[in-house]
Amino acid sequence: MQRLLVTGGAGFIGSNFVHYVLENTEHHVTVLDKLTYAGNLESLRGLPQERFTFVQGDIADPAVVDGLVAASDIVVHYAAESHNDNSLHDPRPFLDTNIIGTYTLIEAARKYSKRFHHISTDEVYGDLELDDPERFNEQTPYNPSSPYSSTKAGSDLLVRAWVRSFGLQATISNCSNNYGPYQHVEKFIPRQITNVIDGIRPKLYGKGENVRDWIHANDHSSAVLAIIAKGKIGETYLIGADGEKNNKEVVELILKHMGQAPDAYDHVVDRPGHDLRYAIDSTKLRDELGWEPQFSNFDEGIEATIAWYRDNEDWWRPQKAVTEAKYKEQGQ
């Protein structure tokens, strides 16, 4: 049994990782989460208390971080401000969490000689043209286009520098867009699902041509565990499941599974600087570490995700009205 400290473990991807670890290993997990609007203790309900501990605190606070890192074997750093729209409205929290928070964690990991894994995003690479056959790989230059992605790029570079300068025992993963349970209703897929449940027409930015490379959160979790167990220190691994779909296709698929007409959605003003296409080449992860995704059928994954939101209205309902009011104020 190892002791994992998971930052941001009450958020979407982090909470899915915590569930996955506790269901598939014998590890003990401590979650450190600030419980901002994106963190939800209900996402951690029902976990085995003898193997799970929750601590509310800020990753940018050394007084909180130091003792938790010292008591752990591995730090898995999910915590981040991650919503592009929010970063365009107010970039400062993204600097505080994604840059200063990461710095605080890697300094503690260095001090106590702890294994560190840093969770990042494919958005650090910018975007690709819609008709470009290329995909992002570990050698793709960074070209972030928003305050969010630029602060994530900065955090990646901090980790790389600490590996080289101080011998930090760290790995990095950059993942494509996740979907699945426990995702905040401000995000694209759960927003559309919950809108349809509420009898509201889904909202599609611009023409809906923007392409994302979708991966189920459980597949992300299994990839992270593989990297922690077998990844080479100092290396970056891209995580993707060959799930390229444009936003229009995703909305139409949701509508189909929810018994609606395929054109029962509204176009809204596009996001400034909206990246065109993300696509991940995960060959290195698959070849070197033997990882394969289990949710290879996006249609089935969406159907299962819709079912989760139908069955867990008590989880997402408290977030919904505030989120939609904010989008309405922004004309989206």
278 is catalytic: no
- Considering the candidates 148, 182, 237, 309, report the single residue annotated as catalytic: 148
Find where tokens 């560190």 sit: 116
Answer whether 140's CB lies under 8 Å from 99's CB: no
- Considering the candidates 122, 219, 244, 324, report the single residue annotated as catalytic: 122
- Considering the candidates 123, 213, 219, 244, report the single residue annotated as catalytic: 123
Report which residue type is found at 34. Answer: K
Q: Where are the alpha helices (DSSP H) in the chain?
A: 12-24, 62-70, 84-89, 92-94, 102-111, 147-166, 188-197, 217-230, 247-257, 283-289, 298-311, 313-329
Other Cβ atoms less than 10 A from the Cβ of 70: the count is 13
- What's the Cα-to-Cα distance from 293 to each of 173, 205, 214, 279, rounded to whole Å? 15, 29, 11, 15
Answer whether 94's CB lies under 8 Å from 81's CB: yes
Answer whether 159's CB lies under 8 Å from 116's CB: yes
Q: How many residues does the chain have?
A: 332
Strand locations in 24-135 (E):
28-33, 52-56, 74-77, 115-121
Alpha carbon 15 to chain centroid distance? 10
Report the C-alpha gap between 149 and 128 in whole angstroms: 15
Answer whether 129's CB lies under 8 Å from 277's CB: yes
219 is catalytic: no
| H or E, element range at 171 | strand 170-175
122 is catalytic: yes
3-class DSSP state for residue 123?
A: helix
Active site residues: 122-123, 148
